[in-house]
Amino acid sequence: MYNVPAVTQWKQEVKDVAFIRMLQAGKSQFPIEAGVPIRVDYNFYLGWPKGTAKKRASTYAAHPQKPDLKNLLSHTEDALSEAGLWNDDNQVDELAMRKWRCPRDEARVEVEISW
């Protein structure tokens, strides 16, 4: 599958941060053993587009526009798999997702994982 440069950069950043967090948590826990069910909560914070009024661009709000949550999820799960978090993303048996608009300099993804 072809990824545009922004997606490739996104995946690399997710991978890098996931790897650092796994090291901090104790690398011996990872990858999460095959067959172990995993719950994941995702919050995607996407910066307001350029040209958004300054007052609005400094706020947080729901984000019912593109990109689709399923695309954000797919790329993020791929990055977490490549980082070695789990054996396979099919171990995820429960998930919650939400996307938000936020100030451009606060764009991020927050991922909470429990097993």
Give the pLDDT score at 37: 96
Give the pLDDT score at 78: 94
The string of DSSP letters for the chain reads ----HHHHHHHHHHHHHHHHHHHHH-GGG-SBPTT--EEEEEEEEEEPPTTS-HHHHTS-EE--SSSPHHHHHHHHHHHHHHHTSBS-GGGEEEEEEEEEEE-GGG-EEEEEEE-
Q: 58-102 pLDDT, tens per residue?
A: 999 999 999 999 999 999 999 999 999 999 999 999 999 999 999
Q: 11-21 pLDDT, tens per residue?
A: 999 999 999 99
Q: Domains along the chain?
A: 5-22+35-114 (3.30.1330.70)
